[in-house]
A and B are shown apart, each in its own frame.
Chain A
C-alpha cells in the first residue's frame, strides 16, 4: 500500500512531568513493532546502565543529552510510526510548566491530543492547563489516558473518580462528551495500549491504539471558504513559457476550480482562474491542502502575501484585531509594544493597543493585567499598519491564527487566535 492511501493522524501528547508521556509513546512504538532492533538494543543497554529492571521506553524519545540527564522532556520530539492503515505523527511535548510553549507548538498541528493523568495524583493544575490549551486550539479529539493504573492496583474506583472530575471540566469547555474519550492504561506494562488488559476486565472500551485506528479525522476546515495565500510568483521567462505568470501557494478551506471568479486581496481586483497547475500537469479543480500554482485570466497585480479568494466569500479585511494570545517567549507582551505580525505568509506591523485581561487556564475566568508573561494566555487588541484578510479562528484555523515576531531579536514571541 502506498503512503498516499494511508490515513494520516497528527497527535500531541500532554500531561504533567512524570506522567509517563515518553514511556507511553515508547510503548506504542514497541507494541506496534515500530522500534527497530538496533534502537531496542540501545534502550535495553541504557536501561541496564541506569540500573532499571524494566525497559525505559522514554529513552526512545528523549533525544537530548540534557533530557536524558534529568529524565525529563524539554522540547517537542516528533515520532513516526505506521500501522497497516494509518500513518501517525506524534508530537511528544514537555510537561513542565515552563515548557508550555512547546506544548502549544505540538498541539497546533494536531487533530487529536492524548492527555495523561497519573492515577495516583488525579486531575491537577497542569491537566486544566493542557485541556484548556487543547480547547483554545480547537484540537478535534481528546483522549484522557489515566496512566499508572498498576500503581493503584488497577482499581476501577480510582479511574471512575478521575473520570468524573474531568467531566466537570468538559462542561466548562467547548468540547462535547463524544469528543473526549477516557482510557485506563499502564504505559509501563502495556495495559490497554496496543491490546487489552487482563488486569482491568471492568473496562469495556477500546485500547488506545484501537481507538486511534478507528478515528475519523473530521477536517471541518475543508468546508470553510477557499483561501489561497500567494507564497511565490512563478515567472520562468523561458522560450517555452515566455508569458507564464503563476501564483504558487497552498490552498486552505474550500475547493477552487478553473473558471471560478476570484478577488485578489488587498487590491480587491477581480479575475477568473485560468488554470490550476501541479508540476507538468493541469487540473480542473483542487481541494484544500494542495500546494499548487494558479494562473489568472487577466494581467492583475499579485505579489507574495496577497490572497486569492472566491469573490462571493470574502474574509474580513481590518486594521483592528482582537485575539487570544499565548505568550511563548520570556519577554513579556506589553501595551504599546510593536511587533511584526505574520498571518500565514503575510507580514504587517502591529501595535498592542490594550490588554483586556489574563485568562485563567482553569476555566475560572480572567483578571485585568498590563502584560502577558511567558506561558500566559490573554485577550489583546491590536492596531495594524495595513489590513489583514482573516476569518475568525472558530471558522478557519489557518486563516484565523497568526504569530508575533519581535523586531529586535526576531524571535517568535506569541501566537494569536483571532476572535
Chain B
C-alpha cells in the first residue's frame, strides 16, 4: 500500500486561498483576534508555506477590553511561531478624538474597531487583509465573496460584487483599494471545532468551562468587569461558563457549560440549538447590524 495523501476538501480550499493572497498581493496581513477562527487561520497559513515561515504579519485590533486570557494566548502563540504581530489600539483612536466611547447600558467598543482597523490599513499600506469570517455566521456574511474588494474608505458594495468562478480568484485592485480575503468562508462553526480537535490546536482557556463573575441581562450572561456597564440591581454571581466566540468583553456573552475538554466542547456545539452569533450582543442591535457595519469597513 502506498502512503497516499488524502485531502480534507475544506482545508485544501483554504490553503489554496491563503497562497493566492500571498502571491497576488504586495502587503497582506492576517487579522488576528485570538479567537478560534483566526487561530485556525494561523494553522492553515503554517501549512500553506511549510517549511517556510508565514510570509505576512498578524494584525490585532485591540479594543482594550479583551479578555486577559486571550492576550496572553496571543503573545505566546506569536513567540512560539516566530511571527510578527502588529497591535492597533482602539484606545489610540479614542485619544486622537477620531471615535467616541459609547455610553450607557449597551456601550461597547466593538464598532469603534472599524476606524482603528482602517487607520492601520492605511498606515501600513496593507492591500489584503485575511480574516476568519465564515458565511454560516450571519446572513449578511453569507453573501460575502472570498476576495471582497473594499474601496479606499473600506466600504463594501454589496450589490456590485465581483463574480467568483470555480476557484479562480481575481485580486487585481487599484491603488488605495484593498481586499478582504476569507479563506474559511465555507467552514461551519462545527467544521472549525472538529478541525481544532483533529489537529489538536491550542486555544485560549476561556473556550473551556470555568468559574467567572457574571450577571444576566436580556437573557444573556455578561461578564462582570469594569469595562462592562452594569446597573446596581444587576446582580453579580459566580457561574460555570465558557465562551463560544471571543470578541470584546462588552459584546460577547458567555454560555453555561461544563465542557472542559475539546471532545466535550465539540459535543456541546453539535447538540446546541442556539447559533454562535446568538451570543453576540453586537448582532442584536438590529436586523441589519452586520450588513451596516460591513458597509463602512468592518470585517
Residues of A within 8 A of B (CB): 2-4, 8, 36-39, 42, 46, 60-66, 68, 74-80, 82, 87, 89, 101-102, 104-105, 108-109, 231-232, 234-238, 240-241, 244, 246, 248-250, 255, 257, 276-280, 283-287, 289-293, 304, 328, 340, 342, 344-345, 397-398, 401-403, 405, 410-412, 415
Contacts and interface: CB of A to CB of B under 8 A. Distances in A.
B11 interface: yes
B259 to A, nearest CB: 18
Interface string B1-27: 011111111111101100110110000
B50 A293 contact: yes
B142 A63 contact: yes
Nearest to B139: A63
Given A105-B163, A410-B170, A64 B16 contact: no
Contacts of A235: 52
B12 A285 contact: no
B142 A3 contact: no
B122 interface: no
A286 B7 CA distance: 8
Interface in B107-137: 135-136
Contacts of A403: 165, 168, 170
Contacts of A61: 139, 142
Contact of A291 (B16, B163, B272): B16
A412 B275 contact: no
Given A105-B165, A289-B7, A412-B165, A405 B172 contact: yes
Given A3-B195, A109-B167, A290-B5, A279 B46 contact: yes
A207 to B, nearest CB: 23
B184 to A, nearest CB: 12
Interchain residue pairs A-B with the least CB separation, the first 7: A63-B139, A38-B278, A236-B52, A410-B172, A283-B5, A36-B275, A291-B15
Contacts of A240: 51
Nearest to A280: B50
Given A38-B275, A80-B136, A235-B52, A75 B12 contact: no
Contacts of B151: none
A330 to B, nearest CB: 10
- Tier of interface size on chain B: 35 or more
B170 A78 contact: no
A102 B163 contact: yes
A252 to B, nearest CB: 10
Contact of A3 (B8, B168, B185, B291): B8
Given A402-B168, A410-B170, A328 B51 contact: no
A36 B274 contact: yes
A64 B188 contact: no
Contacts of B167: 109, 250, 398
B12 A291 contact: yes
B2 A285 contact: yes
B96 interface: no
B291 A77 contact: no
Interface stretch (B29-37, B154-162, B210-218, B232-240): B154-162
B200 interface: no
B87 interface: no
B186 interface: yes
Interface in B200-245: none
Interface string B135-151: 11011111100000000
Given A38-B278, A62-B139, A283-B4, A342 B168 contact: yes
A64 B287 contact: no
Q: Interface centre among B141, B142, B161, B275, by most A CB within 10 Å?
A: B142
B158 A75 contact: yes
A42 B290 CA distance: 15
7 contacts: A37-B274, A38-B275, A76-B143, A87-B191, A235-B52, A342-B170, A410-B172
B48 interface: yes
A78 B8 contact: no
Contacts of B51: 234, 236, 238, 240-241, 244, 246, 280
B256 interface: no
Contacts of A236: 51-53
Given A77-B142, A80-B136, A401-B166, A234 B49 contact: yes
A24 to B, nearest CB: 16
Nearest to A330: B160
Contacts of A37: 273-274, 278
Given A36-B272, A78-B185, A405 B142 contact: no
Nearest to A67: B143
Given A36-B273, A38-B278, A244-B51, A276 B166 contact: no
